[in-house]
């Protein structure tokens, strides 16, 4: 596991590579996401400084694009679709159940770093509504009653 200095050294190399390009912020943020696994506030400040731009510029881009995450993600990323087809079939109730069972609000990660819970737009599987994914696995036609068993499967390999 690289230490913090090694991570920042790697980020410096990405910054050096792009600093003279007009749209440097985007590739630098992508590099930071790859190096750190997310783009927390300290890293955003570092980038703002290095690129001579403002923190609000960096923050604006980092929060606009869903490929960037501001917080470390859990081992299992649970994404519940709140697109129209899923929503009308009750995906909010599925999301609420997950939030209750995991004991965390949407958009956060459990204290043990195992699960991150998030809501997403249409996942392109509307025929299976309501849909959620856990990492690469897709679950369709969900009801809140199925959630405890599904979660138990992932908790077992703790
Ligand atoms: S609306 Fe949920 S998959 Fe399309």
Instruction: Tell me how far the alpha carbon of residue 129 lies from the centroid of ligand 1, in angstroms.
Output: 6
Query: Is residue 2 scored above 80 in pLDDT?
Result: no
Instruction: Tell me how far the alpha carbon of residue 146 lies from the centroid of ligand 1, in angstroms.
Output: 19
Q: What is the DSSP letter of 71?
A: S
Pocket test for ligand 1, best of 81, 95, 118 (most atoms within 8 A of CB): 81
In the chain, what are the domains?
4-64 (1.10.10), 76-156 (3.40.30.10)
Q: Over the stretch 16-28, which tens digit does the pLDDT of each residue have?
A: 999 999 999 999 9
The answer to whether the CB of 85 is under 6 A from ligand 1 is yes
Q: Over the stretch 25-72, which tens digit does the pLDDT of each residue have?
A: 999 999 999 998 889 899 999 999 999 999 999 999 998 887 888 877
The answer to whether the CB of 77 is under 6 A from ligand 1 is no
Distance CA 44, CA 83 (A): 30
CA distances, 56 to each of 37, 52, 60, 62 (Å) = 21, 12, 6, 10
The answer to whether the CB of 141 is under 6 A from ligand 1 is no
Query: Is residue 158 scored above 60 in pLDDT?
Result: no
Mean pLDDT of 92-111: 94
Q: What is the DSSP letter of 52?
A: T
Note the pTM of the prediction, 2 decimals.
Answer: 0.67
pLDDT for residue 36: 87
142: tokens are 């969900």
């Amino acid at each position: 596991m690289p230490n913090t200095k090694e991570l920042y050294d790697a980020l410096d190399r990405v910054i050096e590579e792009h600093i003279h390009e007009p749209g440097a912020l985007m590739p630098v943020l992508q590099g930071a996401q790859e190096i750190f696994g997310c783009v927390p506030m300290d890293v955003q400040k570092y980038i703002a400084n290095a690129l001579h731009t403002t923190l609000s510029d960096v923050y604006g881009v980092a929060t606009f694009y869903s490929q960037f995450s501001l917080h470390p993600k859990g081992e299992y990323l649970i994404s519940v679709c709140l697109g129209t087809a899923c929503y009308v079939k009750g995906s909010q109730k599925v999301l609420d159940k997950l939030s209750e069972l995991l004991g965390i609000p949407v958009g956060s990660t459990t204290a043990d770093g195992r699960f991150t819970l998030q809501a997403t737009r249409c996942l392109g599987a509307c025929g299976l509504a309501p849909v959620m994914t856990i990492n690469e696995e897709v679950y369709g036609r969900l009801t809140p009653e199925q959630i405890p068993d599904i979660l138990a499967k992932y908790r077992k390999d703790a």
